[in-house]
Amino acid sequence: MAVTVVTGAGSGIGRATAQRFARRGATVVVADINEETGRDTVAEIVGDGGLAVFRRLDVANLEDWESFTDWVCTEHGVPEVVVNNAGILIGGGFLEQSGADWRRMIAINMMSPMIGSRLFVRAMTEAGVQGNIVNICSVGAFMPTAVGPSYVTAKAGAWLGTQALRAEFGSQGIGVSAICPGLIRTSLAANGSRGGMSEGESAAWAAKLGSGHRHFGRSPDRVAKAVERAVRWNLATVPVGIEAWLGWFAYRLSPSLMRGVLGLASMSLADRGVALSGSLFGGKKR
């Protein structure tokens, strides 16, 4: 039976993707740094009659990646689908974010999908498996903005790295796709942080942002459907949501116009929006 690996599968897009592929009959390897939520995903899949196993993975740790890849291939065989989904959000302007913020963002949002792709593509080519690599990027990859610059930088790197991987291995029967969602209802914002603030202030900022995030955007299953479509048709780039499609085409049409429009935004304006979100939606669950 086909094996699918999904990182960051403890919630949101990762969980929806794991569930979707399990319903298709795949054995899903649920990977997450959070053991509780990862095991919850497995329990939901098994409860619905699917097959899934959990393995803890810190995607920022190379040694963890290497042992994880070896374990998957030894215990379950070389996977046919690998979805690199794990990611974080750090807000704050270019200089507000510390060097540690930038390094952590690059390690998780850019390097981890590249490392996961490299390790599993090597396993696929050595085993003669014509599999699929799917990297969850973001419309942020096409949005040069002062609001979360480390985030968009990392996502742009992940997107371009995915295209480079596709150029090299596409002719060898390995499908490579980048999924670029717009606004999706996940816990990304609530679990995020804000550079330039104390730990307590950052947590309060993330809570306010997350309270609004719960009420706007699309279901994570929209992205899971896009992943399934990308695997089926071997699509290079798949925006999800009208704002993602607009961002994709606008940046391709005129990068300078896109920079000019996005330059109107600032972290001070974003912070006011976060505060308003907290006052309107704080405490309201959906």
Tell me which DSSP letter residue 124 carries. H
> With contact defined as beta carbons under 8 Å apart, do 194 and 200 qualify?
no
Return the domain boundaries, the chain.
Answer: 3-281
Per-residue pLDDT, averaged over 215-243, amounts to 94
Q: Which residues pair with 90 in a beta bridge?
A: 193
Predicted confidence at residue 192, as pLDDT, reads 86
> With contact defined as beta carbons under 8 Å apart, do 84 and 135 qualify?
yes
Per-residue pLDDT, averaged over 77-83, amounts to 98
Per-residue pLDDT, averaged over 153-172, amounts to 97
* Separation of alpha carbons 271 and 266, rounded Å: 9
Tens of pLDDT, residue by residue over 185-214, are: 988 877 889 888 888 988 887 787 777 666
* Separation of alpha carbons 81 and 176, rounded Å: 10
Predicted confidence at residue 215, as pLDDT, reads 65
Predicted confidence at residue 78, as pLDDT, reads 98
Predicted confidence at residue 209, as pLDDT, reads 77
Predicted confidence at residue 196, as pLDDT, reads 86
Predicted confidence at residue 197, as pLDDT, reads 86
Q: Which residues pair with 29 in a beta bridge?
A: 5, 53
Tens of pLDDT, residue by residue over 99-129, are: 999 999 999 999 999 999 999 999 999 999 9
Q: Extract the tokens encoding 134.
A: 């799917």
Lowest mean pLDDT among 69-73, 216-220, 245-249: 216-220
In this structure, the strands spanning 90-91 and 132-136 are unpaired
Show Cβ contacts of residue 65 under 8 Å, excluding neighbours closer than 6 positions: 57, 59, 112, 115, 116, 119
Predicted confidence at residue 161, as pLDDT, reads 98
Predicted confidence at residue 17, as pLDDT, reads 98
Predicted confidence at residue 281, as pLDDT, reads 74
Q: Extract the tokens encoding 5.
A: 């690996």
Per-residue pLDDT, averaged over 70-91, amounts to 97
Predicted confidence at residue 284, as pLDDT, reads 46
Hey, what CATH topology would domain 3-281 get?
Rossmann fold (3.40.50)
Q: Extract the tokens encoding 136.
A: 């969850």
Per-residue pLDDT, averaged over 44-59, amounts to 98
Tens of pLDDT, residue by residue over 235-249, are: 999 999 999 999 999
Question: Quick one: the chain helix, strand, coil %, rounded to 5?
Answer: 55, 15, 30
**What mean pLDDT is reported for the chain?**
92
* Nearest C-alpha neighbor of 32 from the set 144, 247, 187: 187
Lowest mean pLDDT among 80-89, 213-222, 240-249: 213-222
Confidence tier at 1 by pLDDT (50, 70, 90): low
3-state secondary structure of 235: coil
Catalytic residue among 54, 120, 142, 151: 151
Does the annotation count 251 as an active-site position? no
User: Between these two residues, 104 and 263, which has the higher pLDDT value?
Assistant: 104
Predicted confidence at residue 285, as pLDDT, reads 44
The pTM of the full predicted model, rounded to 2 decimals, is 0.92
Backbone torsion region of residue 218, taken as left when φ is above 0, otherwise alpha when ψ lies between -120 and 50, otherwise beta: beta
Count the neighbouring beta carbons within 10 Å of the beta carbon of residue 9: 32
Q: Is 167 exposed, middle or buried (0-12, 13-18, 19+ CB in 10 A)?
A: exposed
Phi first, then psi: give them for residue 219, nearest 5 degrees. Answer: -65, 145
